Copies of this chain bind each other. A is one copy, B any other.
Amino acid sequence: MALAIARKQRRAGVREAAREEILQAAWKLARDKGPAALTLRDLAKAVDLRAPSLYSYFPSKHAIYDAMFAEGNRRIWQYVRQQPAEPDARQQIKVWMRAFVRFCCNDPALYQLLFQRSIPGFEPSRQSMELANQALEWGRAALVDAGVHDPAASDMLTAITSGLISQQTANNPGGDRWIRLCDDAVRMFFDHFDRRQGGSKHDPDD
């Protein structure tokens, strides 16, 4: 019995590895031509299969997008969270935002798929969406930690962040014309909400 189970698990592991390989190839194609231009034929060719064989691993093309969405979320938030810890809450946010912006600008395909809903007809599944929501919630909590209590503040910060990224990728791809405004933008943001709250907190520069 134990042996049979072990064999099953090994098989499951192999299958999982194959799915993973397909996903990585899908990301590579998405980066080359945009996530919307992904086709099953191209994807199959990239992993040395025929298109119908992909259906052994994913039930549909949308399921592939959904898996990409989930995997992309895991990847970006892992990257952000592994940034060095900062004693100061605002400095921490600055570091996180810098990492987030950099990551997205280096991988516009990921930004489009995860945050711009650029695939016609694709909606992430509940499960996958939850990953994204957790991250947002975590960001809101960080702001409260940093002494910003205005509920509109987190909306303002997500707007600034997405604005920097979309301008950067649309109008200066590969450059840093908007990326380099990132720190300044965070300063601007904190100064503003400090003034509105009356009580100004620190925000020491790097």
Contacts and interface: CB of A to CB of B under 8 A. Distances in A.
Chain A: interface secondary structure? helix
Interface in A172-201: 177-178, 181, 184-185, 187-189, 191-192, 195
Q: Most B CB atoms within 10 A — which of A155, A170, A177?
A: A155
A170 B117 contact: yes
How many identical subunits does the complex contain? 2
A141 interface: no
B195 A191 contact: yes
A163 interface: yes
Interface string A140-162: 00000000000010011011111
A118 interface: yes
A185 B167 contact: no
Interface string A62-106: 000000000000000000000000000000000000000000000
A120 interface: yes
Contacts of A166: 116, 159, 162-163, 166
Given A118-B118, A191-B192, A164 B167 contact: no
Give the top 8 A-B pairs by smallest Cβ distance, nearest first. Answer: A163-B163, A159-B163, A188-B192, A159-B167, A162-B163, A159-B164, A160-B163, A162-B166
26 contacts: A36-B120, A116-B116, A116-B166, A116-B170, A152-B184, A155-B167, A155-B181, A156-B181, A156-B185, A158-B163, A158-B167, A159-B163, A159-B178, A159-B185, A160-B160, A162-B162, A162-B163, A162-B166, A162-B167, A163-B163, A163-B164, A163-B166, A166-B166, A188-B192, A191-B192, A191-B195
